[in-house]
């Protein structure tokens, strides 16, 4: 099938994500910008995940997506055009979008994460730019990036662990450090089993330990986030992420998809809001648009 004949359908709506996207907590005037960024990111992710495109075809499309975004191509890609217009209006730099494409190209080509640090570095492109975009959109200080990155990386690793079986079977991807796999005697074929082996459980728990460490670093973020709505949303994300980690520790993600129920989402969101409301913020210098 010629790549021009392959239509990429959006795999998820913003309401189907683990964490809030463009929620009512954010200023109304900023929400269209958030959705423009989300739709661009979703398209790039869906291209990288397409089962109908070859690796070369995926790279070609991702390159074209970037060219349209930065205005060096006249191709009609609505998601890129809309984000380009949004970035011009908001003053946010394109790098937070183009960095995502680096991770998507890596996914398209296939990549082995030999050590934990390589997986973290991948997440610095696949997830951290999202947080940096949101912080810049809200005119937060550059210092917020340093504790926003750990939060986004933690959220990405949680998602990888939730979809550990699906990613391997459907996409042939293994988001596990290969040195840890070797250390624990784990094979990629263990991901296709009905339940976790004892050794894979140990490896997963080690990744969760690292994720909890990232969330501890992220707890500084609400304290230095000036916009109240964004601070509440960040606090909600941290609360949801902690709850998901707890469930991932005690449930088998090969047997079921480990996720929070609607009731749990509401309860932990309320917990996050309460935390955010009672957080004493430190005054930081906002960036100039």
pLDDT exceeds 60 at position 256: yes
pLDDT of residue 285: 57
Q: How far apart are CA 58 and CA 47, in angstroms?
A: 6
Of the pLDDT bands very low, low, confident and very high (cuts 50, 70, 90), residue 74 is confident
CA-nearest of 106, 158, 155, 107 to 131 is: 155
Whether pLDDT at 8 is above 90: no
17 Cβ partners below 8 Å, 6+ apart? Answer: none
> Confidence class of residue 9 from pLDDT cuts 50, 70 and 90?
low
DSSP string for 70-117: HTS-----HHHHHHHHHHHHH---THHHHHHHHHHHHHHH-----SHH
Whole-number pLDDT of residue 201: 98
Query: Is residue 232 a contact partner of residue 6, using CB atoms and an 8 Å limit?
Result: no
150-169: per-residue pLDDT in tens? 999 999 999 999 999 999 99
Residue 283's pLDDT is 63
Segment among 48-52, 79-83, 215-219 with least mean pLDDT: 48-52
Question: 110 to each of 42, 46, 161, 210, how far by Cα in Å?
Answer: 19, 15, 18, 24
Rounded mean pLDDT of the chain?
Answer: 91
**pLDDT, mean of residues 72-90:** 94
Q: Are residues 68 and 77 in contact, defined by beta-carbon separation less than 8 angstroms?
A: yes
Query: Cα torsion at 129, 207, 143, 137 (round to 10°)?
Result: 30
Q: What is the pLDDT of residue 1?
A: 36
pLDDT digits (tens, 9 = 90+) for 197-224: 999 999 999 999 999 999 999 999 999 9
At residue 143, the pLDDT reads 93
More confident site: 102 or 285 = 102
Q: What is the mean pLDDT of residues 231-257?
A: 96
Average pLDDT over residues 252-278: 95
- Find out whether 230 and 140 touch, Cβ atoms under 8 Å: yes
pLDDT tier, 238 (very low <50, low <70, confident <90, very high otherwise)? very high
Q: Of the candidates 149, 157, 146, 30, which has an alpha carbon nearest to the alpha carbon of residue 92?
A: 30
- Could you give the domains of the chain? 27-100 (no CATH), 111-280 (1.10.600.10)
Is residue 287 predicted with pLDDT exceeding 90?
Answer: no
Instruction: Say what the pLDDT of residue 22 is.
Output: 57
Distance CA 268, CA 110 (A): 36
Burial class (CB in 10 A: 0-12, 13-18, 19+), 143: middle
pLDDT at 73: 86
Residue 19 has pLDDT above 60, yes or no: no
């Amino acid at each position: 099938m010629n790549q021009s004949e392959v239509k990429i359908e959006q795999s998820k709506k913003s309401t189907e994500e683990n964490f809030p996207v463009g929620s009512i907590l954010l200023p109304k005037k900023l929400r269209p910008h958030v959705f423009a960024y989300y739709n661009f990111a979703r398209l790039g992710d869906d291209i990288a995940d397409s089962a109908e495109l070859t690796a070369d075809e995926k790279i070609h499309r991702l390159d074209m997506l970037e060219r349209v975004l930065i205005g060096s191509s006249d191709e009609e890609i609505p998601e890129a055009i809309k984000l380009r217009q949004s970035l011009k209006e908001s003053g946010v730099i394109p790098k937070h979008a183009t960095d995502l494409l680096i991770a998507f190209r890596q996914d398209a080509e296939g990549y082995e994460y030999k050590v934990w640090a390589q997986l973290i570095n991948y997440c610095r492109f696949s997830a951290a730019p999202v947080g940096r975009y949101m912080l810049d959109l809200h005119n937060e200080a550059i210092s917020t990036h340093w504790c926003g990155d750990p939060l986004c990386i933690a959220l990405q690793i949680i998602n990888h662990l939730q979809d550990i079986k699906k990613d391997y079977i459907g996409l042939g991807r293994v988001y596990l450090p290969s040195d840890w796999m070797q250390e624990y005697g784990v094979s990629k074929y263990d991901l296709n089993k009905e339940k976790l082996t004892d050794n894979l459980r140990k490896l997963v728990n080690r990744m969760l330990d690292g994720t909890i460490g990232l969330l501890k670093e992220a707890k500084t973020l609400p304290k230095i986030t000036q916009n109240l709505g964004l601070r509440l949303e960040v606090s909600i994300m941290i609360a949801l992420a902690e709850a998901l980690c707890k469930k991932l520790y005690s449930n088998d993600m090969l047997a079921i998809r480990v996720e929070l129920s609607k009731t749990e989402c509401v309860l932990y969101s309320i917990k996050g809001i309460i935390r955010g409301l009672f957080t004493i913020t430190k005054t930081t210098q906002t960036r100039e648009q």
